[in-house]
Structure 1
C-alpha cells in the first residue's frame, strides 16, 4: 500500500515520491503506527502530550520533547537535537499514542535528558539533508574498499549521515570483535567528516535494509515487527517441518521469525496428542509410529518386521491401545483399527469451458492404443482376404 504520491500516473507508470518509503504519510512508511486517536479531541483542561516520535533513515526511531510547543503533525520534517549539531527527521507519531510507544520501549516520560526539537526544517535544512543522503551510496562503496584493503572481517551494511552533514554513522556486522581504529582514521581522512561505527546484529541488518521474503511479501522485521524473539529448531520440529537450513533461514541467515507465528496453535493441538515415540504392543508384533497429521488427528503405524506397510489410525484409537498396553493387554492386530481413507480426485485447474485440466496428460491414453490394435487386426484380415482372392 502506498500513499497518493506513490500511486500510478495518467500514463500507467508509477509516479513515485522519490523517498524510497520514507515519506511518512501512509503505508509505504516502514514500521508505520496508525494514529487511531487522531480524530478525537482531548478532555477539557488537558494539555497535549509534549513528546513526539521521529523517524530517521530506515527504521531508526527516537523520541523528542516539543519544548517550543510547535504545531506538529505526522509527515512534518523537523530539525532535532543531536550530540553535536542537529539532525533532520520526520514526525511519525504525535499525541497520546507516543506515551504508549514510550512505555513499550521503556523510555521514561519525565526524563529531563530527553532531546528536544529545535524547529520545523527550513528549505535550506532539507537541501543539505538531501545532498548528504545522495552521497551515501558512493561513500558506502568507498568505505567497503578501505575495509577490504585493511583485511578486516566485517561487513559495512549501511551508512547514515546526520542531517547537518557533520557526521556519518557506519553500521556493520561481524562475527568477532573488530579493531577498526585504522579504518576510522582512513575514512575520516578520505571523507573529511566525523565517523561513528555502530555494530548491529544480522536481524537488525535485515530490518534496516528490508527486502522480499520467500512468501513474496516485504520482510516482517522491516514493516511491522518490532521485537525479535528467539527462534529455535524446536519450533520447526513441533510443526513437522524438514530441518533444512536453506528453507528455514531468512535473508538474515537466522531462523525465520514466522516460525513462531503458528507455534502456539501447534502446541495446543499437541496437548492431547500421543507422542510419536510411542510403541503399540500387539499380538502380531510391536508397531512404531511413522507419520502423524496433527490437524487430521491421524497417525500411521507399521510393524517392526514389516516397515513398508503403514496402517492409518485415529488419535483416539491410538490412545485406547496405549491404555490397554499400560495394563499389560495386547490388541490382536492393527488391521482391526485401520481407518479407511477415501481419496477423491479433484480437478486442479479448468478453463472457462471446463474441458481442459493441467493433469490431462498424466493418464495414459488407452483408447488410442486399442484403436491401433484394431487397425492392425483389420489390416491383417484385408491382406488375407486379398491373398485368397488372388
Structure 2
C-alpha cells in the first residue's frame, strides 16, 4: 500500500517536517506512521499569534496539519489553522495544563470562501482598533497598556490584551469600547514576556525570540543566575526586548552549578612562601582560577587549576606553605606521533650499529664471556661466525674503535701470549716442587711458609702467580705427600 501526501511531497517525512510558519508549532514525530491521525478525534487549532485551542472532530473530517477550519466559539464561530492531529494532541493538552473537566468545543467544517472573506475583513480592523482603544484608556486615566487586539473570525467579538502593573478597574472602559466598536468586548491581562511573544522579534543572538517560537511556560529569572554564570550585572545586557531578564539565562545554570563544585570558595586565601594570594576571577567551565597578591586590585595575577588550588588549601590547613602556586604543576609535554610501521622514517633500511647488541637485541655472549677455559672455543666460534657472516665482522667496528686501541685480532693474540707464559711458569713451579721432594726435605711437604719464601734460583719465583682455571692444573699444582 502506497501512502501519499497532499502537500506536494512524495515522501512521508515531508508531513512531519512541514513549514514552521506558525508560532509555537509542535513537531509531529508520529506523522510518518500510517493511521496516527485516526487514534484520536482531538485536534489543536492555532489562531492569531500564540493563542491556541483544542477541539473535537465530532464530524469525522479528514483534517491534516495546515488546514483552515471553522470552530465553535461564544458567540458565533472562529477561524483557525490546524497545527497538530493524532495521538500527540492528548499529550500536548496534558503538557499545557488543560483541565479534563473543561468542555471541549467542536470543529464545524473546513473554512469556506465566505468564511475567509469575513475573517479578512475583521483582521483588517485590528490595528486601528488598538490605536483608538489606547487613546480611550488614556482619556480615562487608566494605568494600563493595550498591547494587541484580536477579532473573532466572524467579527462579532474582539479580545483586548493589556499590560498593567497593578489592578485596574476597566468597567467604564468596556462600556466605552462596546459603544465605539459595536462588538462584544473581552479583556485579557498578559505579562511583558507574553507581549513580546505575541509581537515577535529578533534577539541579540540573531535568532527569533524563544517566547515567539517554542516557549509556552515562562519561568521566573533572577539575578542569581547571572552571578552563578559570572556574568556582568549590566541591566542593558541582561534585559531582553520585553525589558525583563532574558529567559536564556536559565538554560545553562545547572551546568555552571556543577562546574562550580570543582572550584574552591572565593573567600579562601592561599598562603605561600612568596606571600598571600586572593581570589580575583574564575573560568568556571575550564576549571581555572586567577589569584592576585592584592585584595582590591589586580596585581601579579597568577592562574592555576582548581585541583592545584585544593592542594594548596590542604597544605595550609596542615600548617605548610608551598614555594609557589605553580610548584607541583608540570606543563604537559607535546606528544610525538609514533610511526608504528616506520613508513616515514628515512633510516628504516639502515642496519643497526652497536658492539654490545646484535640484531635480535641480545648481548654478544662471545664478547662478554670471560672464562679462560672457553677462550679458545670462543675464538674458534667467533672465527667461524665471522667467516660465515663477513659483514658482521667488519660492521661498525673500524669506525667506532677509539684511536690507539688494538682491534680484536691483536687483543686475542696478546691474550694467548699471556696464557702461554702463565702455563710455562706453572710448569716450572711444579718441577721445582718435585725436585725438592726428591732431594729430601725434613717433612717431605712444601708448607705454605716455605712456598712464600723468596727463591733466588728462579727469577720468576717472586712474581705473582695467577690462580689456575683448569681442573688439570689444580691437580698438578697440589703438592703430594711423600710416604
In 2, Cα distance between equivalents of 1:31 and 1:123: 27
Task: Tell whether 2:249 aligns with 1:280.
Answer: no
Contact 2:259 2:287 in 1 (8 A): no
Larger radius of gyration: 2
Per the TM alignment, residue 269 of structure 1 is displaced from its structure 2 partner at its CA by 1.5
Alignment of 1:51-70 (within 5 A): 51-70=42-61
In 2, Cα distance between equivalents of 1:314 and 1:173: 49
Task: Tell whether 2:233 aligns with 1:240.
Answer: no
Match of 1:88 in 2: 79
In 1, Cα distance between equivalents of 2:319 and 2:192: 54
In 1, Cα distance between equivalents of 2:310 and 2:175: 70
Secondary structure of the 2:278 match is strand
In 1, Cα distance between equivalents of 2:330 and 2:135: 66
Match of 2:259 in 1: 269
Match of 1:127 in 2: 117
Per the TM alignment, residue 183 of structure 1 is displaced from its structure 2 partner at its CA by 1.2
Q: 2:34 aligns with which of 35, 41, 51?
A: 41
Q: 1:209 aligns with which of 175, 195, 199?
A: 199
Per the TM alignment, residue 60 of structure 1 is displaced from its structure 2 partner at its CA by 0.7
Q: 1:143 aligns with which of 127, 130, 133?
A: 133
Match of 1:50 in 2: 41
TM-score, normalised via structure 2 length: 0.62
Per the TM alignment, residue 47 of structure 1 is displaced from its structure 2 partner at its CA by 5.0
In 2, Cα distance between equivalents of 1:47 and 1:338: 66
Per the TM alignment, residue 338 of structure 1 is displaced from its structure 2 partner at its CA by 8.1
TM-score, normalised via structure 1 length: 0.76
Match of 1:27 in 2: 20
In 2, Cα distance between equivalents of 1:58 and 1:94: 19
Secondary structure of the 1:275 match is coil
Contact 1:51 1:95 in 2 (8 A): yes
Task: Tell whether 2:304 aligns with 1:313.
Answer: yes
Match of 1:368 in 2: none
Q: List gaps (5 residues or longer) in structure 1.
A: 6-23, 342-390
Q: 1:330 aligns with which of 321, 324, 346?
A: 321
Q: 1:156 aligns with which of 120, 136, 146?
A: 146
Per the TM alignment, residue 297 of structure 1 is displaced from its structure 2 partner at its CA by 2.2
The structure, 1 or 2, with the larger RCO (C-alpha pairs under 8 Å, 6+ apart) is 1
Task: Tell whether 2:280 aligns with 1:290.
Answer: yes
Give CA deviations for 1:343-368 in whole Å, capped at 9, x if unaligned: xxxxxxxxxxxxxxxxxxxxxxxxxx
Task: Tell whether 2:107 aligns with 1:117.
Answer: yes
In 2, Cα distance between equivalents of 1:334 and 1:73: 67
Contact 1:65 1:115 in 2 (8 A): yes
| Change beyond 3 A, Cα 1:307–1:123 | closer
In 2, Cα distance between equivalents of 1:120 and 1:52: 13
Aligned length: 317
Q: CA RMSD of the aligned region, Å?
A: 2.5
In 2, Cα distance between equivalents of 1:192 and 1:337: 82
Secondary structure of the 1:116 match is strand
Secondary structure of the 1:253 match is coil
